[in-house]
A and B are shown apart, each in its own frame.
Chain A
Amino acid sequence: MEETAEFVSNAGEDSASVAAVTMDVDNGLIEDDKSKDAEVAPALIAVHPFEKSVAVAVGFELRLFDLEGNCSVSLVDDSGGPSHSDAIRAIKFGANGRLFASAGDDKLVKIWATNPWHCIRTVSAEKRVSAVAISHNGHYVAFADKFGLVWLIGLEGDNAKQSNNDKKAVMILGHYCSIITRLEFSPDDRFIASADRDFKIRVTVFPKQSLKGAHEIQSFCLGHTDFVSCLAFAYPSGCANGYLLSGSGDSTVRLWDFISGVLLATCEVGAKVGSLEPNGTEDAQSPISDLCASSDGSIIAVALQYSNRVALLSCDFSNGNLSVAKVVTLEENYFPTSLGSSSLSKCLWMVMGASNLPMPGSAQLPTRLRIISGLRKDPSDYHCHDPIILEDNEVPGGQKLLSELQGSLDVTKEEAALAAAAAAVKASMRNMMIKKEYTLERREMRKKNRNDRKIK
C-alpha cells in the first residue's frame, strides 16, 4: 500500500499528496477500504441540446449515437493528443450543441466539435479531472481537478491563436484541496458555480478577462450537510433573477438565490421517495446521484444513488417552495447513475453502469439505457400525460441506438453485472466523498507508528 509506506516515512501528522485529500491512510485495520472498487466511475450520459445526438461514457469508452442520421458515430481524433485511457468522469455538451467536452481520471480534457464529430483539442491536466463545463457562448471550457483547482481553456479570440498544441489551461480559482464534484456556468456566463465534497457551493463572478483568474466570489451557498453531488441553474420565465439547484449526499435537493447565497427551499427527496438497499432495507439517506433541470426550471428530475425511482420535483420559485410532484418507478434493480436531457426536455435519458466492473466477463462494459417520456405536459390537459418509461422498441434510434450505447442490445443477461456496477459505484462514491472517521484506537495506533516517535 503506497499510502501506508508514505505515511510511515513521513514525519508529523501528514500523509501528503492525494492521501491527504482523501485520507486514505490505512494500516490495514479496515479491510475493504482499499479494495479495487475504490476506483469505479459511474456511467454518464449527455444529450445534445437539440437532441441531435446522445453520448454515453463508461470507463474510457465514449459511445456516441447520431439521432438525426440514426447511426453510430465513430470519433475522429485529429488533435494530435492521446485518447482516453482511464475512466471518464465528466461529459458535457455546450449550450448550442456545437461543442462537447470529456475528461476524467487519465488527466485529459478532450474538446470535440460535434458537426462533424472530431476532437479539436486535447489538454493535459496536472491532476485527475472531476468536472467539466462549457461556457454558454462557447468561448471557454472549464475543468476542475481532484485537488480543488478550476482551470480554464480559451477557445476563441487571442487564446485560440496560440499554437494549437502547447496551449495550457490556466488556473482561475480553487477550493481548498477539496474534490470538486460539479462545475456549471450560469446561462448568461456571468457566474461559474463549483460544488465540492466539503458541503460547499461557491458562486464566482466570471470576469471578461477570465484567463486572468476569477477571484471575486459572489456567494457561498451553505446548507448541505454532506458532499454536494450535482448543480443546475434555472432561469424561470418571468423572473428577473436566476436560481441554483443542488443535490447532495445528504439526500436533499436545495434551491438557492445564488446572488446572495440564501437558501430558499429544501426538499428531502430521499425521505419522500424512499430508496432500497440491495438487501431490501430502506435507506432514507441515499445520496442524490444526479439532477437534471430544464433551463427554465419547469422540469427537475432527480435520481438517487440507491433508488429505482426518479423524482420529478416542482418548484415555485417566487415563493421558495420545492416539492416532489411525481415519482416514476423503474424496474427493480435499475439505479440510474446519470441523467440527461435536451433543452427541449421532452424526454429524460438515464443510464446505469460503471467502469472497471469487479466481475470480468463481457468484453464491453454493459450499461443500461432507459428513457422517460412525456415530461413536458400540455398545461391545458393536466392529467392526460403521465410520464411513461419507453420500452426498448419505442426508443428513438431503436435497436441501433441501444446496441451502440449499451454495448449490447440485450443487456438483460448482464443484469448481475449491472447490479454489481451499481453497488460498486456506491462504494466508490462513499470512499471518495465521505470523510473517514477513525476510532480512538485506530488513531492511537497510527500515532504509535509515527516515524518521529520511534526512539532507538
Chain B
Amino acid sequence: MSDNTGTKVKGQSCRLPRKRFYRARAHSNPLSDSHFPIPICPAEFDYSHHYPYFFPSGGEDHKNGSASPRKVRFADIGCGFGGLLVSLSRLFPDTLMLGMELRDKVTEYVKERILALRASNPGQYENISVVRTNSMKYLPNYFGKAQLSKMFFLFPDPHFKEKNHRRRVISLQLLDEYAYALELGGIIYTMTDVEELGDWMRSCLEDHPLFEAVSEEELEADPVVKLLTSATEEGQKVARNGGQTFRAIFRRIKFEEE
C-alpha cells in the first residue's frame, strides 16, 4: 500500500488502506508462543519510531524540553481496525496512545491507516500508533507502573467454551497487571455485544479489590464513553444490526486492607 501514499487522487490526497486487502481470521490464540519482537522492558520501547513528530530522532522531546519525556497514556488492547484510536486522536491530540493487536494483518492495516491519515492531515494523528503484540503476556514490557490513564477492552473475543475461558482478556489474574499499568484514578473501559462475556467482565472487575465502578453521572460526562459504540468498527456493526452492548467501566483505586 505504501505506493499509494502521496499519490494525488481527486478529493483525497492519500488513499487509505482498504480492509478487503487485510482480511484476517477473527480469532487468534493468545496462549501460543509468539516470535514477534517485544521490547525487553518499557524503556526499550522505541518512541521515536512510533511517534516521530513528538520524538524526532536524535533530538530531545521538543514539546517537553527537559521535563520527563512524554509517555503513552492510553492503551487500546485488541484495537482491531483502529477506529477508536483514530477518533480518540482528534479528541486528545496531545496524548500518546498505543493500539495493541495480536493479528498481524490487522496490525498492518492499522499501521497503513495511521500513516495515510498522517500524510493527508499534516500535524494530525501523530499521537497514535499500533504494535503487534500479545498484551496478555507482554503488557509489562510496554508500560511501567501507573503509566496509563485509560485502557480499552472493546469487543474482545468472547471465548465461549469454558475450557477456553482462560484465554479471555479480562480475568481476575490479568486485572492485576492492568491495575499495575494504570495510575490511581485511571479508567478501564470494557464493552461487548455478548451478554455472557459482559457479565463475566463485570464480575471480574467487581471482584477485584483494585477497581471500583464509575458512577453513571461520570459516565454521562465522559466524552470517551460515547465513542465506545460510535467509533469502533465492532460497535458500528452492532448498531447496524440493532444489537445490544454491555459495558463495564471501572476506576483503579488504592488497595485498602480491611
Chains A and B come from one and the same complex: yes
Residues of A within 8 A of B (CB): 12-17, 20-21, 23, 147, 149, 171, 173-178, 198-200, 204-205, 207-209, 212-213, 215-217, 219-220, 222-223, 225, 261, 263, 435-437
Whether B40 lies near A200 (C-beta < 8 A) is no
Whether A215 lies near B210 (C-beta < 8 A) is yes
Whether B166 lies near A177 (C-beta < 8 A) is yes
Closest Cβ of chain A: how far from B24's Cβ, in Å?
A: 11
CA distance A100 to B159 in the complex (A): 40
Whether A21 lies near B255 (C-beta < 8 A) is no
**A13, A21, A220, A436 pick with most chain B CB within 10 angstroms:** A220
A-side contacts of B29, CB under 8 Å: 12-15, 20
Whether B27 lies near A215 (C-beta < 8 A) is no
B-side contacts of A207, CB under 8 Å: 255, 257
Does B136 touch A at the CB level, under 8 Å?
yes
**Number of inter-chain CB pairs below 8 Å:** 91
Whether A435 lies near B208 (C-beta < 8 A) is no
B-side contacts of A216, CB under 8 Å: 176, 179, 210, 255
Whether A13 lies near B180 (C-beta < 8 A) is no
Whether B257 lies near A20 (C-beta < 8 A) is no
Does B31 touch A at the CB level, under 8 Å?
yes
Whether B27 lies near A149 (C-beta < 8 A) is no
Whether B140 lies near A222 (C-beta < 8 A) is yes
B-side contacts of A174, CB under 8 Å: 171-174, 176
**B35, B41, B163 pick with most chain A CB within 10 angstroms:** B41
Complex partner residue of A435 from B35, B41, B171, B209, CB under 8 angstroms: B35
Whether B166 lies near A13 (C-beta < 8 A) is no
Complex partner residue of B257 from A171, A208, A220, A436, CB under 8 angstroms: A208
Whether B137 lies near A219 (C-beta < 8 A) is no
B-side contacts of A205, CB under 8 Å: 255
CA distance A437 to B41 in the complex (A): 22
Question: Could you jot down 29 A-B contacts, CB within 8 Å?
Answer: A12-B29, A13-B28, A13-B29, A15-B32, A16-B163, A20-B32, A21-B31, A23-B32, A176-B137, A177-B31, A177-B137, A200-B140, A207-B257, A209-B258, A213-B172, A215-B175, A215-B176, A215-B179, A215-B208, A215-B209, A215-B255, A217-B145, A217-B177, A222-B41, A222-B42, A223-B40, A223-B41, A225-B40, A437-B35
Whether A261 lies near B179 (C-beta < 8 A) is no
Interface of A is mostly: loop
Closest Cβ of chain B: how far from A441's Cβ, in Å?
A: 15
Q: How large is the interface on B (under 10, 10 to 19, 20 to 34, 35 or more residues)?
A: 35 or more
Complex partner residue of A178 from B25, B137, B174, CB under 8 angstroms: B137
In residues 19-68 of chain B, which contact A (Cβ within 8 Å)? 25, 27-33, 35, 40-42
Nearest chain-B residue to A437 (Cβ)? B35
**B31, B172, B258 pick with most chain A CB within 10 angstroms:** B31
Closest 4 CB pairs of A and B: A174-B173, A222-B41, A20-B31, A14-B29
B-side contacts of A200, CB under 8 Å: 140
Nearest chain-B residue to A217 (Cβ)? B180
Whether A436 lies near B176 (C-beta < 8 A) is no
CA distance A282 to B208 in the complex (A): 50
CA distance A215 to B32 in the complex (A): 25
Does B245 touch A at the CB level, under 8 Å?
no
Nearest chain-A residue to B28 (Cβ)? A13
CA distance A17 to B31 in the complex (A): 9
B-side contacts of A16, CB under 8 Å: 163-164
Complex partner residue of B137 from A12, A173, A198, CB under 8 angstroms: A198
Complex partner residue of A13 from B27, B172, B177, CB under 8 angstroms: B27
CA distance A213 to B25 in the complex (A): 36
Closest Cβ of chain B: how far from A11's Cβ, in Å?
A: 9
Whether A222 lies near B179 (C-beta < 8 A) is no
Whether B31 lies near A261 (C-beta < 8 A) is no
Closest Cβ of chain A: how far from B168's Cβ, in Å?
A: 11
B-side contacts of A212, CB under 8 Å: 209
Does B87 touch A at the CB level, under 8 Å?
no
Whether A176 lies near B136 (C-beta < 8 A) is yes
**A16, A208, A212, A215 pick with most chain B CB within 10 angstroms:** A215
Does B141 touch A at the CB level, under 8 Å?
yes
B-side contacts of A263, CB under 8 Å: 41
Nearest chain-B residue to A150 (Cβ)? B173
Whether A149 lies near B173 (C-beta < 8 A) is yes
Nearest chain-A residue to B180 (Cβ)? A217
CA distance A171 to B177 in the complex (A): 16
B-side contacts of A225, CB under 8 Å: 40
Whether B163 lies near A173 (C-beta < 8 A) is no
Complex partner residue of A220 from B140, B166, B179, B209, CB under 8 angstroms: B140
Complex partner residue of A14 from B32, B42, B140, CB under 8 angstroms: B32
Contact (A23, B33) CB under 8 Å given A178-B137, A217-B179: yes
In residues 171-222 of chain B, which contact A (Cβ within 8 Å)? 171-177, 179-180, 208-210
B-side contacts of A178, CB under 8 Å: 137
Nearest chain-B residue to A225 (Cβ)? B40
CA distance A219 to B179 in the complex (A): 12
Nearest chain-A residue to B141 (Cβ)? A222
CA distance A212 to B208 in the complex (A): 10
Complex partner residue of B173 from A20, A176, A261, CB under 8 angstroms: A176
With contacts A15-B32, A16-B163, A217-B145 known, what are 4 further pairs, Cβ within 8 A? A13-B28, A173-B173, A176-B137, A215-B175
Contact with A along B217-258 (1 / 0, CB 8 A): 000000000000000000000000000000000000001011
CA distance A171 to B171 in the complex (A): 13
**B25, B137, B179, B258 pick with most chain A CB within 10 angstroms:** B137
Closest Cβ of chain A: how far from B238's Cβ, in Å?
A: 23
Nearest chain-B residue to A23 (Cβ)? B33
**B29, B32, B174 pick with most chain A CB within 10 angstroms:** B32
B-side contacts of A14, CB under 8 Å: 29, 31-32, 164
Complex partner residue of B145 from A17, A176, A219, A223, CB under 8 angstroms: A219
Contact (A209, B257) CB under 8 Å given A217-B179, A222-B140: yes
CA distance A205 to B29 in the complex (A): 30
CA distance A174 to B175 in the complex (A): 10
Closest Cβ of chain B: how far from A171's Cβ, in Å?
A: 8
